[in-house]
Amino acid sequence: MKTIAVLTSGGDAPGMNAAVRAVVRTACKNGIKVYGVIRGYNGLINGDFIEMDLRSVSDIINRGGTILYSARSVEFATEEGMRKAIRTCQEWGIEGVVVIGGDGSFRGARDLSERGIPCVGIPGTIDNDIACCDYTIGYDTCLNTIMEMVDRLRDTSESHDRCTVVEVMGRRAGYLALNAGIAVGATAILIPEIPFDIEKHVIERMESTQRTGKKHFIIIVAEGVNVDVHELAKEIEARTGVESRSMTLGHVQRGGYATVKDRVMATRMGNYAVKLLMDNIGNRVVAAQKEEVVDYDIFEALNMSKSIDLELYDIAHEVSI
């Protein structure tokens, strides 16, 4: 391949810039022209490209967000939008595309690959909800951000003998909530993968820890369980008598400097993705499995399922008492 493009799509994630940098530098080093596509698949449709060189990606390895901007393209989901994107790629001589994003972005990459534009996906999402991957770029930074924020909430919660109910991101998945919940010593963790009952999993747990002298509490709720944390805090206060506060952490979780793990994995994955395209291999997803970087057929990857670590869930409940 002589010319490739790289885009970021879906919700941004810390470490995406490190992946873009690795893609651009690997391509340049191997004599491949590389275009940065602006605003995901919308940029691919409209030919919104910037030719990148070694210096275009200087000083971005540490930065959160994505210098290529991101979008969830409605137009690309239509047959007409897809055709336009293919025409644009042909006009610009683009022979392969690296797509950094989540499941939705990979579906676009699969469709493009099927229509003759080889694509390689790199998992970039804070939710860690891509089935073929143990880990996705941005997840580690996000967990650390949640931990820092909740540590701060704990200080004030403890000072006032309060219960603080915190909603963390994870549209359909509880990986962030479970792992952050363990890291902050949450009394209860509610995630979409495991059915729960407020009486048993929150109120009774609080009461049993109260009996051993505990006076302040952190409850972590995954966004995906669709529990209103503000209402839950009121209910907890009414039922237990413990003054309660609530907070939705929101998009603060998606920003910030990427951690070492996110930068290193993003760099390895970006490099790996370009090497696949150099071998004329498309329709693949790069994945992290037990610290190794591997790749899967996109179709196969999208049909895989991932389960939550039940042992981890049990440990959390056994220890946070």
- Closer to ligand F6P at the Cβ: 95 or 223? 223
Site string for ligand F6P, 232-271 (x = CB under 6 A): ----------------------x-----------------
Stretch near ligand F6P under the rule CB under 6 A, chosen from 24-32, 122-130, 235-243, 296-304: 122-130
How many Cβ atoms from other residues are within 10 Å of residue 292's Cβ?
9
> Does the annotation mark 127 as catalytic?
yes
Stretch near ligand F6P under the rule CB under 6 A, chosen from 41-49, 77-85, 123-131, 209-217: 123-131
> Shortest distance, CB of residue 54 to ligand F6P, whole angstroms?
31
| Catalytic option among 48, 103, 111, 127 | 127
Site string for ligand F6P, 198-237 (x = CB under 6 A): -------------------------x--------------
Tell me, by CB under 6 A, how many residues bind ligand F6P.
10
Task: Show Cβ contacts of residue 310 under 8 Å, excluding neighbours closer than 6 positions.
Answer: 194
Site string for ligand F6P, 19-58 (x = CB under 6 A): ----------------------------------------
- Closer to ligand F6P at the Cβ: 32 or 221? 221
Q: How far apart are CA 252 and CA 298, in angstroms?
A: 31
The encoded tokens of residue 206 equal: 């609080």
The correct pick among 126, 137, 188, 219 for binding ligand F6P (CB under 6 A) is: 126
The verdict on 125 binding ligand F6P (CB under 6 A) reads: yes
- Closer to ligand F6P at the Cβ: 49 or 76? 76
Q: Which of residues 156-195 bind ligand F6P (CB under 6 A)?
A: 169-171
Q: How far apart are CA 91 and CA 70, in angstroms?
A: 23
Stretch near ligand F6P under the rule CB under 6 A, chosen from 121-129, 184-192, 214-222, 307-315: 121-129
> Shortest distance, CB of residue 164 to ligand F6P, whole angstroms?
20
Q: Which residues are catalytic?
A: 127
Q: Which residues bind ligand F6P (CB under 6 A)?
A: 11, 102, 125-127, 169-171, 223, 254
